[in-house]
Amino acid sequence: MVLGFDPGFAITGWGALEKKEHKVVVRGYGTLETAPADAMTLRLSRLFTDVNALIAEFRPERCVVERLFFTRNQKTAAGVYQARGVILAAIGLAGLPLLELTPQEIKQALTGSGRASKSDVLRMVERLLGVRPQRDDAADGLACALAGLSEMAWRLS
């Protein structure tokens, strides 16, 4: 079982996948959201609690978290990095192996091209898993988990 996360301060996408024989089974996916009106400390603690609940519910063998690269909006980047830190802390507290992949590595694993568009990734998630999440963030969480299912990815980390 792999639990994947696409970190975000307002919205974090997640996906839980399990490999059974030669099939990939979707165990769950969705988003974790925090209210913009809430204080930063409350938003981060709520995210931490929600990630811990997902870990308790799905009992993954390992987790995948997207690495982030921001060059433009530093204000947005600060919140996302804090959210990512909370996710990493929850994974660390659970003692789970962690794989961090860049957006390009995830796109490469799913589509064969590190320059694939969001719609290309969504199409591959739908094609490979048979689900079409309503939110891009949830699709990105599933994409992280899909990329992390590969044993090769874990050997290279």
Looking at 50, 105, 137, 140, which residue is catalytic?
137
Looking at 6, 50, 105, 140, which residue is catalytic?
6
State yes or no: is 38 an active-site residue. no
Sign of the CA dihedral running 120, 138, 68, 77: positive
State yes or no: is 57 an active-site residue. no
Return the SS3 of 56.
helix
Looking at 21, 38, 50, 66, which residue is catalytic?
66
State yes or no: is 137 an active-site residue. yes
Q: Which of 117, 138, 150 is nearest to 14 (CA)?
A: 138
CB atoms within 10 A of CB 42: 12
Catalytic residues: 6, 66, 137
